[in-house]
């Protein structure tokens, strides 16, 4: 049963299986084990980025396509929900209309980009996608009547998901049973469902062809596969999942703006998460997203404690100053890439193979 649920793609490493189990249990019980809005926001962001990074790995790790337009589709999903709810009101039909319209726009754009750009070399394709993503971000910032411009859009969500909704006056294990809790668990359930669908795709015959194209496109074409068609399909599927991730983020934040979903910084973060976790394995997206987001949110707190501990040592106190957290974040990830050249999942699986 469990093997079928994972489409036969098991972790293939006891350590990896344990780590994934800890992450899943941690996300499942976050509202009860780590009380407070901050921990819940971090957990929700991890769920959203698991979907986003997995969708990018479908494109980069499994097909070998380098694209810088992934955040564009992420932003389309977020803006679709935000604009629809702003115009139609905080209702479920508005959410459905926003998601549907965003998916339609993303599918058309990804299809056009795929058909016209995937015939060129990888470097030129990457530059084309970067230009398109930059143009879209500029457009979103300037169409203030629709997108709110640089200020973005704040909106209400359906009553069931709003913090003011409560289905029990008595807290459970110290946690208020309100719309925010429902929103989090719906987000987590959607993450699991989308991840399992992507796992099924990459382990299907279609996914095997994508991997063959990644390894040797010339040989795959010689065997009779139309690589442009498969690459275009991969591009469209990846865009669809990124769009759904953007919609989930917007519903959780109840806000969307250019910096929230369209910035190039998010694209760089996605690349880092894929590389750290391990390309060509969706489990790497789970590890990469979790490690990156937890480090990004709590490294400053750790450095603040270290700074107080080394208060009497001027040099060390300055080195671990919380204001320098970005420097240490960069160093940590440089070391992780150096230590795990094939990603954490690749390293763990290699160790498991040597042990057998």
Domains of the chain: 2-355 (1.10.3470)
Task: Give me Rg for the CA atoms of the chain.
Answer: 21
Q: Which pLDDT value is given to residue 120?
A: 67
- What is the Cα 297 distance to its own chain's centre? 16
Bridge partners of 193?
A: none
Q: Which pLDDT value is given to residue 118?
A: 66
153, 82 in Cβ contact below 8 A? yes
Q: Which pLDDT value is given to residue 186?
A: 95
Read off the pLDDT of residues 25-74 as tens digits, 9 standing for 90 and up: 999 999 988 888 889 999 999 999 999 999 999 999 898 888 888 999 99
* Single pTM value for the model: 0.93
Q: Which pLDDT value is given to residue 8?
A: 80
**Could you tell me the CA-to-CA distances from 66 to 22, 62, 124, 125, 351 in Å, in that order?**
31, 11, 10, 7, 29
Q: Which pLDDT value is given to residue 221?
A: 85
Q: Which pLDDT value is given to residue 226?
A: 87
Give the tokens for residue 148: 């709110």
252, 47 in Cβ contact below 8 A? no
- Where the chain has pLDDT below 50, the residues are none
Q: Which pLDDT value is given to residue 94?
A: 94
Q: Which pLDDT value is given to residue 63?
A: 87
Which residue, chain included where needed, has tokens 């905080």? 90
Q: Which pLDDT value is given to residue 240?
A: 96
Q: Which pLDDT value is given to residue 316?
A: 72
Q: How many residues does the chain have?
A: 356
């Amino acid at each position: 049963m469990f093997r079928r649920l994972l489409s036969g793609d098991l972790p293939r490493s006891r350590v990896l299986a344990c780590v994934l189990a800890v992450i899943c249990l941690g996300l499942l019980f976050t509202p009860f084990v780590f009380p407070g809005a901050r921990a819940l926001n971090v957990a929700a962001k991890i769920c959203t980025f698991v979907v986003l990074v997995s969708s990018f790995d479908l494109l980069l790790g499994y097909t070998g396509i380098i694209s810088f337009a992934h955040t564009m589709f992420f932003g389309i999903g977020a803006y679709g929900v935000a604009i629809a709810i702003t115009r139609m009101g905080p209702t479920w039909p508005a959410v459905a209309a926003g998601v549907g319209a965003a998916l339609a726009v993303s599918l058309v754009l990804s299809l056009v980009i795929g058909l016209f750009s995937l015939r060129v070399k990888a470097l030129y394709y990457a530059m084309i996608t970067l230009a398109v993503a930059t143009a879209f971000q500029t457009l979103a910032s300037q169409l203030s009547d629709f997108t709110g411009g640089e200020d973005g859009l704040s909106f209400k969500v359906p009553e069931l998901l709003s913090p003011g909704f409560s289905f029990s006056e008595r807290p459970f294990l110290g946690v208020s049973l309100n719309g925010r809790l429902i929103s989090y668990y719906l987000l987590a359930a959607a993450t699991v469902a989308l991840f399992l669908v992507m796992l099924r795709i990459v382990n299907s015959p279609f996914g095997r062809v994508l991997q063959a194209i990644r390894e040797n496109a010339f040989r795959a074409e010689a065997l009779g596969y139309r690589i442009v068609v498969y690459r275009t399909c991969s591009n469209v599927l990846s865009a669809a999942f990124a769009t759904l991730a953007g919609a989930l983020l917007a519903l959780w934040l109840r806000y969307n703006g250019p910096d929230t979903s369209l910035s190039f910084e998010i694209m760089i973060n996605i690349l880092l998460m894929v590389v750290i976790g391990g390309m060509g394995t969706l489990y790497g997206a789970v590890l990469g997203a979790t490690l990156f987001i937890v480090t990004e949110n709590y490294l400053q707190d750790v450095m603040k404690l270290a700074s107080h501990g080394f208060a009497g040592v001027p040099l060390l106190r300055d080195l671990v100053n919380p204001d320098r957290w970005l420097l240490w974040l960069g160093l940590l990830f440089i070391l992780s890439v150096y230590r795990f050249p094939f990603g954490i999942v690749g390293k763990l699986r290699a160790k498991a193979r040597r042990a057998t």
